[in-house]
């Protein structure tokens, strides 16, 4: 909010609804009120602004914050010769999703532990070093750790599709004989297309509730093959002479002898297919947990829900159906992740356009609040080493060409589109030894992608950990390839770019720098507040904040001001109309503290009556930034990355100054 701090005409009447629950429980004796119009307030009722005695420098350490950062991906890498009933009871699988049960008799699966340990995502973890741990538990190996604030809540719905294999063993058996049931025992090798049971929905709710009770947000994905049983990676089984990995499409909308109809046959829902019906069932759950959902990876199609390989994952019409269903089911405040092909399919079918990979970079910037603005991007082979990141950046190009005409994929055009979306960009680890995956090229590209979240358990992070972050290393010019042929030839003629060195991280590893720059990172650079305010006066604040992260705040936040008595006895709060999404990172990637052009205004102008009846005395001023739907007193609030003791964990708020309240005569 930009205001004229010196003009009574700049006073803005702010009317808000009752404050959220945290204001009532923040501490004993908390008073909360509504912001009302200023009545009789004059500039003479508050003192001039004074610079606050705070530390305005960045602390180069891990600062967990909602909706950004590293996360503990459920990924394991067990060689085929080491699989056994203990570490991989259903056969080899590189990714491990929560297997949603049908009833109390269903076998749960979530990695090497059976029964699984659930809800343990928010645990300090080391980044993976790229070395296969074989039979040993995951140990990381880089020595660089983070406390993730994102819980990777991925749900495997294989029990609810007659096309989804229940184990890798069943998939191999089907590959051998083409049967959906064991010929000897009659046991089904797949799930059964059916509604999600009340038990299944309760299971999903239970896990999301664990995230709410912890201090994280949920990165949510649903799919019918969350553990990749419908796909065999050919390089792992050279003896099978596989041409491609897909064994069978896992979706219940794929018509097969085992799944004769894609349509839901339940009374009142025959207008839906089974995917639409399952998403319809999930809608109330997603709204119930809107407060802790970071985003929804639209999944559903293809192995692992990565939207590739299966016939459904290569259908324009399937993407139109799927994205419309998710847009309806997921609260409008939350982002949806897909790949470029899926977005183009939905956009073209929705707006009767014909955008392709040839001109995706020219697509209009989506207006804030529009359906198209909700779409972010997932890269399942982040910086893996090829022109297309193993096909993740170019996913869906043949599908788009078949419907809208021939186009040519260009890595930089897709990255430009991702940048213009200004959304969540999530990556699974790939991180190849190439110009895109090594430093300093990885920094340059991450700033363009606005990289938000990375799977710390899946990637060769040793490549970043071994690169010392200093001026000579970081500012080494990087020449990028002009096209795919140059990637293979290792002789580049593309643009030459130079990363900007931030002295705050001098001497640290680039992995530490990258960890801290994922998504947004806010540093308070300046704070001036009224030295004193009369009870009928106006609390004025003029501040500067710098976003030094790769990306921006995507999900809307409430920005509230808390006055806490110096003795800590009482607190009073009022909601501002500041929008944290306006605190944009520098488009050129310059997060240096001396880049004052990237300091954003953070001003508010509040009548003291907005806080209720505030007694005279000395008060600390705090800024609380959290989700409008937040139900707790102090969880999931944004913490500034400043040095000093300015974070109040009990309030979930940042100290931005102090003032004295004087009695009005």
Question: Is 558 a residue whose pLDDT tops 80?
Answer: yes
> Are 380 and 432 a contacting pair, CB within 8 Å?
no
Omega into 196 within 30° of 0, i.e. cis?
no
Q: Could you tell me which residues are beta bridge partners of residue 132?
A: none
- Provide CATH code, domain 8-63+521-662: 2.60.40.770
**What residues contact residue 665 under an 8 Å CB cut-off, 6+ apart?**
none
Residue burial 404-441, b: 16+ Cβ < 10 Å; e: rest: beebebbbbbbbbbbbbbbbbbbbbbbbbebbbbbbbb
> Are 49 and 530 a contacting pair, CB within 8 Å?
yes
pLDDT level of residue 360 (50, 70, 90 thresholds): very high
Query: Which region among 124-138, 608-622, 643-657 has the lowest average model confidence (pLDDT)?
Result: 124-138
Q: How far is CA 353 from CA 75, 348, 363, 404, in A?
A: 39, 5, 11, 9
Query: Which region among 140-144, 532-536, 578-582, 636-640 has the lowest average model confidence (pLDDT)?
Result: 140-144
Closest CA to 621 of 46, 44, 10, 7: 46
Q: How far is CA 589 from CA 13, 448, 584, 616, in A?
A: 37, 8, 11, 45
Question: Is 495 a residue whose pLDDT tops 60?
Answer: yes
- Average pLDDT score, the chain: 88
> Are 548 and 642 a contacting pair, CB within 8 Å?
no
Return the pLDDT at 228.
Answer: 87
Return the pLDDT at 430.
Answer: 81
First and final C-alpha spacing in the chain: 31
Q: Could you tell me which residues are beta bridge partners of residue 619?
A: 565, 659
Percent with pLDDT over 90 in the chain: 76
For 166-177, how does the pLDDT look when each residue is reduced to its tens digit (9 = 90+)? Answer: 988 899 899 999
Q: Cα(358)–Cα(417) distance, rounded to whole angstroms?
A: 11
Domain range summary for the chain, segments of one domain joined by +: 8-63+521-662, 71-140+156-318, 339-519
> Are 277 and 325 a contacting pair, CB within 8 Å?
no
Rounded to an integer, the average pLDDT of 285-300 is: 97
Question: Is 81 a residue whose pLDDT tops 80?
Answer: no
Q: Cα(578)–Cα(14) distance, rounded to whole angstroms?
A: 11
Return the pLDDT at 186.
Answer: 96
Q: Cα(494)–Cα(321) distance, rounded to whole angstroms?
A: 39
Return the pLDDT at 119.
Answer: 54
Closest CA to 605 of 9, 7, 12: 12
Q: Would you report the helix, strand and coil content of the chain in percent, each value rounded to 5?
A: 25, 20, 50
pLDDT level of residue 239 (50, 70, 90 thresholds): confident
**What residues contact residue 144 under an 8 Å CB cut-off, 6+ apart?**
126, 127, 461, 465, 509, 511, 512, 515
DSSP letter for 607, please.
Answer: E
Question: Is 191 a residue whose pLDDT tops 60?
Answer: yes
H-helix or E-strand spanning residue 376: strand 375-382
| Tally: H helices and E strands in the chain | 13, 24
Rounded to an integer, the average pLDDT of 110-119 is: 49
Q: Could you tell me which residues are beta bridge partners of residue 150?
A: 71, 217
Return the pLDDT at 130.
Answer: 79
pLDDT level of residue 38 (50, 70, 90 thresholds): very low
- The SS3 call for residue 521 is coil
Q: Cα(632)–Cα(628) distance, rounded to whole angstroms?
A: 11
> Are 456 and 148 a contacting pair, CB within 8 Å?
yes
Q: Cα(217)–Cα(119) distance, rounded to whole angstroms?
A: 12
Closest CA to 542 of 15, 51, 37: 51
Question: Is 583 a residue whose pLDDT tops 70?
Answer: yes
Return the pLDDT at 76.
Answer: 57
Rounded to an integer, the average pLDDT of 196-218 is: 95
Rounded to an integer, the average pLDDT of 8-20 is: 30
> Are 91 and 158 a contacting pair, CB within 8 Å?
no
Return the pLDDT at 35.
Answer: 37
Query: With 0-12 CB in 10 A as exposed, 13-18 as middle and 19+ as buried, what is 113?
Result: middle
């Amino acid at each position: 909010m930009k205001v004229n701090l010196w003009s009574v005409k700049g006073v803005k009447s702010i009317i808000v609804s009752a404050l959220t629950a945290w204001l009532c429980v923040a501490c004993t004796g908390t008073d909360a009120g509504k912001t009302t119009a200023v009545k009789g307030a004059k500039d003479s009722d508050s003192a001039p602004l004074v610079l606050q005695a705070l530390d305005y420098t960045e602390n180069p350490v891990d600062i967990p914050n909602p909706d950004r950062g590293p996360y503990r991906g459920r990924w394991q890498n067990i060689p085929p010769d080491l699989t056994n009933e203990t570490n991989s009871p259903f056969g080899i699988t590189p990714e491990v999703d929560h297997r949603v049960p049908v009833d109390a008799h269903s076998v749960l699966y979530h990695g090497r532990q059976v029964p699984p340990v659930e809800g343990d995502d928010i645990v300090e973890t080391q980044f993976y070093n790229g070395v296969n741990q074989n039979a040993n538990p995951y140990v990381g190996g880089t020595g660089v750790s983070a406390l993730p604030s994102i819980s990777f809540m991925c749900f495997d719905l294989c029990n609810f599709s007659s096309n989804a294999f229940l184990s890798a063993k069943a998939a191999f058996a089907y590959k051998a004989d083409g049967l959906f049931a064991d010929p000897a025992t009659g046991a089904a090798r797949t799930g059964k297309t059916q509604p999600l049971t009340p038990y299944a929905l309760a299971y999903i709710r239970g896990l999301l509730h664990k995230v709410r009770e912890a201090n994280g947000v949920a990165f949510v994905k649903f799919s019918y093959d969350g553990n990749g049983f419908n796909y065999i990676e050919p390089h792992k089984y050279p003896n099978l002479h596989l041409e491609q990995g897909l064994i069978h499409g896992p979706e219940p909308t794929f018509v097969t002898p085992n799944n004769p109809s894609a349509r839901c046959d339940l009374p009142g829902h025959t207008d839906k297919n089974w995917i639409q019906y399952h998403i319809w069932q999930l809608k109330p759950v997603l709204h119930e947990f809107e407060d802790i959902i970071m985003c929804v990876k639209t999944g559903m199609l293809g192995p692992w829900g990565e939207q590739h390989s299966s016939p459904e994952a290569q259908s324009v019409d399937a993407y139109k159906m799927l994205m419309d269903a998710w847009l309806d089911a997921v609260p409008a405040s939350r982002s949806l992740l897909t790949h470029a092909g899926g977005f183009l399919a939905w956009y073209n079918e929705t707006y009767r356009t014909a955008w392709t990979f040839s001109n995706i970079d020219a697509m209009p910037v989506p207006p804030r609040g529009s359906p198209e603005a909700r779409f972010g991007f997932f890269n399942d082979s982040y910086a893996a080493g090829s022109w297309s990141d193993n096909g993740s950046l170019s996913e869906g190009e043949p599908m788009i060409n078949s419907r809208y005409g021939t186009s040519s994929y260009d890595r930089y055009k897709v990255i430009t589109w991702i940048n213009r979306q200004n959304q969540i960009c999530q990556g699974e680890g790939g991180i190849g030894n190439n110009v895109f995956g090594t430093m300093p090229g990885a920094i340059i590209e991450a700033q363009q992608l606005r990289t938000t979240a990375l799977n710390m358990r899946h990637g060769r992070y040793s490549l970043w950990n071994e690169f010392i972050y200093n001026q000579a290393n970081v500012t080494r010019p990087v020449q990028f390839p002009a096209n795919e042929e140059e990637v293979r030839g290792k002789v580049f003629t593309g643009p030459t770019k130079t990363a900007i060195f931030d002295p705050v991280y001098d001497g640290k590893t680039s992995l530490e720098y990258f960890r801290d720059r994922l998504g947004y990172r806010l540093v308070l650079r300046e704070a001036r507040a009224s030295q004193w305010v009369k009870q009928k006066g106006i609390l004025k604040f003029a501040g500067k904040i710098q976003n030094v992260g790769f990306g921006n705040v995507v999900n809307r936040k409430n920005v509230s001001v808390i006055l806490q008595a110096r003795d800590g006895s009482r607190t009073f709060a009022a909601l501002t109309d500041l929008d944290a999404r306006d605190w944009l990172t520098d488009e050129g990637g310059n997060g240096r503290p001396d880049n004052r052009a990237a300091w954003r205004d953070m001003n508010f102008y509040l009548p003291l009556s907005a806080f209720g009846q505030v007694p005279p005395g000395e008060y600390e001023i705090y800024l609380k930034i959290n989700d409008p739907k937040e139900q707790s007193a102090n969880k999931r609030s944004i913490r500034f990355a400043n040095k000093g003791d300015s974070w109040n964990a009990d309030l979930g708020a940042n100290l931005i100054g102090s003032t004295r309240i004087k009695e009005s005569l």
